[in-house]
Amino acid sequence: GRSERGRLSALEIDRLSAQARAQRPDFIIGAGGGKGIDAGKAVAHALDIPVVTIPTAASNDAPTSKNYVIYDENHRLLRVGHMKRNPELVVVDTEIIIYAPLRMLTAGIGDAIVKKFEVAQCIGAGGPNMFGAAACRAATALSELCYSTLRAHAVGALAAVKNKAIDED
């Protein structure tokens, strides 16, 4: 589901949605990296049906998010689309993830570890969450749990991917 240079455009979403609509699916599966998963989410949103995501790398939060990125025909960010809710199911197979390039996991660790600081900044500034409401204490608790988990397991996880050996990390 990618346009000629790998960016999801409104035209590509329309094309993929028309193909999917003809099949009358109950749900859409978005698989791959962020672009493939975003394509699945965009089509599911267009058809107003659930999406299941299957990431092939742990590089970002696209598999769990209700958001997807749309580019214009010149490959510039046009807007961020928002599904009504997050994916129904996220299927993560460590046998797949472990074979993704190490740089992808490094990027994913960076993407996740900053959430603690992003949440603190948003709360400190009194910024609204994605629903227009004030952040709840659960956001802080989850961001701190994410941070502490990464601090405890990131180095081991990087070693596991480098050695292609699945372990607890």
Task: Note the pLDDT tens digit of each residue in 99-155.
Answer: 999 999 999 999 999 999 999 998 999 988 877 888 889 999 999 999 999 999 999
Residues 77-97 have pLDDT tens digits of: 999 999 999 999 999 999 999
- Amino acid (one-letter) located at 146: C
Taking the model in full, what pTM does it have? 0.86
CB proximity list for 135: less than 8 A, separation 6 or greater: 119, 122, 123, 127, 128, 129
**Residue 154: strand, helix, or coil:** helix
Q: Phi-psi category of 32—alpha, beta or left, where left has phi over 0 and alpha has psi -120 to 50?
A: left
- Residue 103: count of CB within 10 angstroms of its CB: 10
Residue 62: C-alpha distances to residues 37, 126, 153, 162, 163 (Å): 7, 25, 21, 23, 26
**Residue 52: strand, helix, or coil:** strand
What secondary structure letter does DSSP report for 125?
T
C-alpha to C-alpha distance for 38 and 46, rounded to whole angstroms: 12
What number of residues does the chain have?
A: 169
